[in-house]
Amino acid sequence: MWWTMPARKNEVDVSRDWARDLEVSQVQQDERIMADVLSEVDIRFDHPMTDGEIEEIAPVLRAAIERQVPDNPGHVSEILRDLMQQMRGYGPLEPLFLGAGSREITEIQVTPVRGGAPRIFVVRHGREEPWPEAFFGTDREVHDWVRKTADSLGVTWNEQHPIVDLWLDDGSRINAVGFGVNPFSRDATIVTIRKSPAFVDPVPMSRMIELNSLNEEMSDLLIKAGIKGCRNMLFCGPTDSAKTSLLRACAQFIDPGDHVAVVETSWEVYLPHLPNAVNFVEVRRAGRDVVTSADIGKALLRQNFRRAVYGEIRYAEIQPAFDEMQSVGGGCLTTMHAWSTFSLIQRVITLFSYAGRALTVEEAQNTICGTFDLVVFMDKDKDKRRRVTEIYEAHERDGFRLLYELDVETDTYVRVNKVSPEFVKRVRFAGGEVLL
């Protein structure tokens, strides 16, 4: 016969994907070896281990791997490296968490590329830049890493749930989108990692002045009046405008003796210089909220905290958060997404609606001005520099009183108004200083 029987569809697929099947087989074999090694040495890692813990058990692991893979030292080293990376919880991206210069990196982005290895971008000092090393050779490697991470945390990530948020034990947040959502390939996975604040040193206020994010006079207002004067301050701006960076810079001046509550949906604020600071974060298990920020806020009303810090108010926790801020005596700090007084009012109206409370524009403004003393707006300029654009006094009678603004024509900060006599009186009563 001059023709041949066409291969069945599954046979065609196998013949086309033989290289991938071989790769998968090797990965699965290595995973079985790692599981056997861990079982043999009786080690479980359900949380990222420290460098000291890993160094202590590394020789035992290597010996166990050598028994599984004799006469192949190169393969032994590869399996040991992969196993140690899994123990730390960072996989191939470990150099961006623990390597040289990694403390300057605040965000990691894994971007699929059509027909090529996924690219790595990092954010340093508010600027995105490509990383020279790929770390992942194929889209499938990214997919497998996210799957392993999700599995280790007990989170479902599959075709029915292609978008996932993962929180590592160190506080880093991973958002991954996969399973065909990207058009380049079914395996293409988009990953963004907000690194734990424990890996990112706070930017000193002196450095923010040096970068022209604000001037020294504005810094004095935030520190000497805002922090030392126990005032409530709200930092506003779009994503990655340095709201949290400025909050952390100000928080470095909080009295170490103060009892401070830090409440967040995901860990972004780390204040190691405060020995009596307590961090609270939302708890999610199996895709369900167990403890929300609103729950934590309500609980804080029954605790005796001197100050409170809310990493960001983004949902129904606004009601208990504002209640807490109106109750504590030592001042509160928080952030919100807003870029003007108008958008801030609209944002507050929206968030209170999530809490089941409808506000008019006038009620929203009165609520803001009855809760905060200073409102700071930030944004990125054309050169991607993160700048304070305006500072307002939130006055119970006059509403928003503009104190400072950035003159975009001259690229200088201008003092528009003095603070009110009522503000001066409250600041001095609490032991702060204020520029008249």
Q: Give the pLDDT of residue 403.
A: 97
- Tokens 């424990």 correspond to 198
Instruction: Answer whether residue 382 shows pLDDT above 50.
Output: yes
**387 bridge partner residues:** 379
* Residue 170 and residue 290 in one domain: no
Whether residue 296 lies inside any domain: the answer is yes
Residue 146: CATH number of its domain: 3.30.450.90
Q: Domain of 393?
A: 202-429
Residue 258 half-sphere exposure, CB side, CA atoms within 13 Å?
25
* Residue 425 and residue 291 in one domain: yes
- Strand order from edge to edge, sheet including 412-415: 277-281, 260-264, 307-310, 332-336, 233-236, 374-380, 386-395, 399-407, 412-415
Residue that is last in its domain, among 183, 198, 213: 198
Instruction: Please list, in sequence order, all residues whose beta carbon lies within 8 angstroms of the beta carbon of residue 158, skipping any fewer than 6 positions away.
Output: 179
Whether residue 53 lies inside any domain: the answer is yes
Average pLDDT score over residue span 253-270 = 85
pLDDT digits (tens, 9 = 90+) for 76-106: 777 776 676 666 667 788 888 877 888 888 8
* Residue 332 and residue 289 in one domain: yes
Q: How many CB atoms lie within 10 A of CB 304?
A: 7
> What single string gives the DSSP state of each residue in 266-330?
S-----TT-TTEEEEE-EEETTEEEE-HHHHHHHHTTS--SEEEES---STTHHHHHHHHTT-SS
Whether residue 434 lies inside any domain: the answer is no
CA 57, distance to chain mean position in Å, is 31
* Residue 274 and residue 423 in one domain: yes
Q: How far apart are CA 30 and CA 49, in angstroms?
A: 21
Instruction: Answer whether residue 25 shows pLDDT above 70.
Output: no
* Residue 193 and residue 209 in one domain: no
Q: How far apart are CA 233 and CA 214, in angstroms?
A: 16
pLDDT digits (tens, 9 = 90+) for 30-64: 666 766 666 666 665 544 555 566 677 778 778 88
Instruction: Answer whether residue 418 shows pLDDT above 50.
Output: yes
In 3D space, the residue among 77, 108, 217, 92 whose CA is nearest the CA of residue 173 turns out to be: 108
Average pLDDT score over residue span 316-325 = 87
Q: Which amino acid is at 320?
A: P
Q: Give the pLDDT of residue 391.
A: 98
Q: For residue 434, with 0-12 CB atoms within 10 Å meaning exposed, 13-18 middle and 19 or more buried, which class applies?
A: buried
Q: How far apart are CA 253 and CA 233, in angstroms?
A: 14
Instruction: Answer whether residue 300 shows pLDDT above 80.
Output: no
> What single string gives the DSSP state of each residue in 220-270?
HIIIIIIITTT--EEEE-STTSSHHHHHHHHHTTS-TTS-EEEEESS----
* Residue 220 and residue 190 in one domain: no
Q: Give the pLDDT of residue 211.
A: 92
Whether residue 328 lies inside any domain: the answer is yes
Evaluate whether 262 touches 269 at the Cβ level (below 8 Å).
Answer: yes
* Residue 221 and residue 190 in one domain: no
Residue that is last in its domain, among 167, 198, 229: 198
* Residue 292 and residue 224 in one domain: yes
Helix, strand, or coil (residue 174) = strand
pLDDT digits (tens, 9 = 90+) for 112-138: 998 888 999 998 877 889 998 888 988
Instruction: Answer whether residue 68 shows pLDDT above 90.
Output: no
Instruction: Answer whether residue 13 shows pLDDT above 50.
Output: no
Evaluate whether 167 touches 173 at the Cβ level (below 8 Å).
Answer: yes
- Between 195 and 352, the more confident residue is 352
pLDDT grade, residue 372 (50/70/90)?
very high
Instruction: Please list, in sequence order, all residues whose beta carbon lies within 8 angstroms of the beta carbon of residue 286, skipping any fewer than 6 positions away.
Output: 154, 155, 156
Average pLDDT score over residue span 185-209 = 87
pLDDT grade, residue 304 (50/70/90)?
confident
Lowest mean pLDDT among 96-100, 171-175, 230-234, 323-327: 96-100
Distances 49 to 88, 209, 311 between C-alpha atoms, Å: 5, 38, 26
- Between 25 and 283, the more confident residue is 283
Q: Give the pLDDT of residue 226.
A: 97
pLDDT digits (tens, 9 = 90+) for 386-398: 999 999 999 988 8
Average pLDDT score over residue span 324-339 = 90
Average pLDDT score over residue span 154-179 = 87
In 3D space, the residue among 38, 137, 32 whose CA is nearest the CA of residue 91 turns out to be: 137
Q: Which helix (H) or strand (E) holds 159?
A: none
**The dihedral sign for the CA sequence 216, 221, 224, 226:** negative
Rg of the Cα trace of the chain?
26
pLDDT grade, residue 12 (50/70/90)?
very low
* Residue 246 and residue 329 in one domain: yes
Whether residue 393 lies inside any domain: the answer is yes
Whether residue 169 lies inside any domain: the answer is yes
Lowest mean pLDDT among 236-250, 281-295, 309-323: 281-295
pLDDT grade, residue 367 (50/70/90)?
very high
Instruction: Answer whether residue 177 shows pLDDT above 80.
Output: yes
Residue 360: CATH number of its domain: 3.40.50.300
Instruction: Answer whether residue 427 shows pLDDT above 90.
Output: yes
Q: How far apart are CA 230 and CA 327, in angstroms?
A: 12
pLDDT grade, residue 145 (50/70/90)?
confident
Q: Give the pLDDT of residue 3.
A: 29
Q: Give the pLDDT of residue 88.
A: 60
What is the rounded (10 degree) CA torsion for 176, 243, 295, 169? 40
Q: Give the pLDDT of residue 9.
A: 36
Average pLDDT score over the chain:
83
Q: Give the pLDDT of residue 119.
A: 93
Q: What is the share, in percent, of the chain residues with pLDDT greater than 70?
A: 83
Q: How far apart are CA 66 and CA 402, in angstroms?
A: 69
Whether residue 1 lies inside any domain: the answer is no
Lowest mean pLDDT among 68-72, 222-226, 420-424: 68-72
Strand-strand pairing, 307-310 and 260-264: parallel
Give me 128's structure tokens: 């995105």
pLDDT grade, residue 333 (50/70/90)?
very high
Q: Give the pLDDT of residue 229.
A: 96
* Residue 84 and residue 97 in one domain: no
* Residue 409 and residue 319 in one domain: yes
* Residue 120 and residue 261 in one domain: no
pLDDT grade, residue 337 (50/70/90)?
very high
Q: For residue 111, with 0-12 CB atoms within 10 Å meaning exposed, 13-18 middle and 19 or more buried, which class applies?
A: middle
Give the number of domains in the chain. Answer: 3
Whether residue 287 lies inside any domain: the answer is yes
Residue that is last in its domain, among 88, 118, 145: 88
Q: Which amino acid is at 172?
A: S
